[in-house]
Amino acid sequence: MELSLSERERYSRQILIFGEEGQKKLKNARVVVAGVGGLGCPAALYLASQGVGKIRIIDKDVVEASNLNRQTLHWTRDIKKPKVESASEKLKEVNRDVEIEKFLVEINEKNVNELLEGSDAVIDAMDNFPTRFILNEAAVKLRIPFFHGSIYGLEGRAMTVIPGKTACLRCFFSESPPKEVFPVLGSTPALIAMIQVTEVIKYLTGVGRLLENRYLIYDGESMTFREIKIRRNPECPVCGKI
C-alpha cells in the first residue's frame, strides 16, 4: 500500500527518521493493545497518530470516575460507557486513515489466540499479571513480539519479548504478584506507554536497538532509569522449548 499525499505530509517529520518505506510498514501493520486503561489509552493514541494502519483494542470494562486521572481517551462524559467504545471514538478523530478494531471481551485462555492471531505486535497494557501471563504465552506460541509494561505509583517497568530470541515474561516472573488496588500517578503509565510504543515503532520499521533481554525500571520519585539484564530460562514453561 502506497502513501497518499496527505499521509506524506502528515508523517513528514517521522519519515525523516525511517523513510517512506518505514512509514508504509506502519501503515500495513496491525497492533493489538490489550487493555484500554492507563497504559492502553496513550499507547493507542500514539500508535494512531503515527499511522499504524490497524489497531485492535481489547477491554471488558466500562469507564469509571476513578479512571480519569490517567486514562486519557476517556472523559467525564464517557463514565459508564464501555472503554473500547469511548477509546475508538477518540482514535477515529485522531486519525481517520487508521482502522480501529474493538473487542469488548475479557482476555482468557480460550479466546487469546483468536484475539492475537494475524497481528504484528502486542502491547501489554493490562493491570494484572494472570492476564499478562496468558498474553505472553500466546504471543510466544504465535511468534508475535510482545511489549510488556507495568506501573505502580511513581514506578514503571518495560521489556520487549521477541519469541525464539529473547527471554519472555515468565522467564523473569515465575508467579503473579499478589492482586491489589495499587496507587497510580497519572503521568507514570503515560511515560511507560510511550516506551512501549517507541519499541513497537522501532520493531516495525527496523530502526534502533530494542529492549531485548533488558528489563527497564523507571523511578519517578528519584527521576532515574536503570535496567536489569535478563536471559532466557531454559526451564521456562513458556519459551524454554522454543
pLDDT digits (tens, 9 = 90+) for 162-192: 999 999 999 999 888 777 788 999 999 999 9
Q: How confident is the model at residue 21 (pLDDT cuts 50, 70, 90)?
A: very high
**Residue 92 corresponds to which cell in the numbers above?**
477515529
pLDDT at 201: 98
pLDDT at 113: 98
Does position 69 have pLDDT exceeding 90, yes or no?
Answer: yes
Which of 201, 217, 83, 55 has the alpha carbon at shortest distance from 149? 217
CB 54 within 8 A of CB 60: no
- Tell me whether residue 222 is exposed, middle or buried, using C-beta atoms within 10 angstroms of its C-beta: 0 to 12, 13 to 18, 19 or more: exposed
pLDDT of 94-128, one tens digit each? 999 999 999 999 999 999 999 999 999 999 999 99
Q: Is 19 left (phi over 0), alpha (psi -120 to 50) or beta?
A: left
CB 61 within 8 A of CB 85: no
Direct distance between the N- and C-terminal alpha carbons of the chain, in angstroms, rounded to an integer: 33
CA distance linking residue 212 with residue 203, whole number of Å: 11
Residues written for the chain: 242
CA distance linking residue 242 with residue 236, whole number of Å: 10
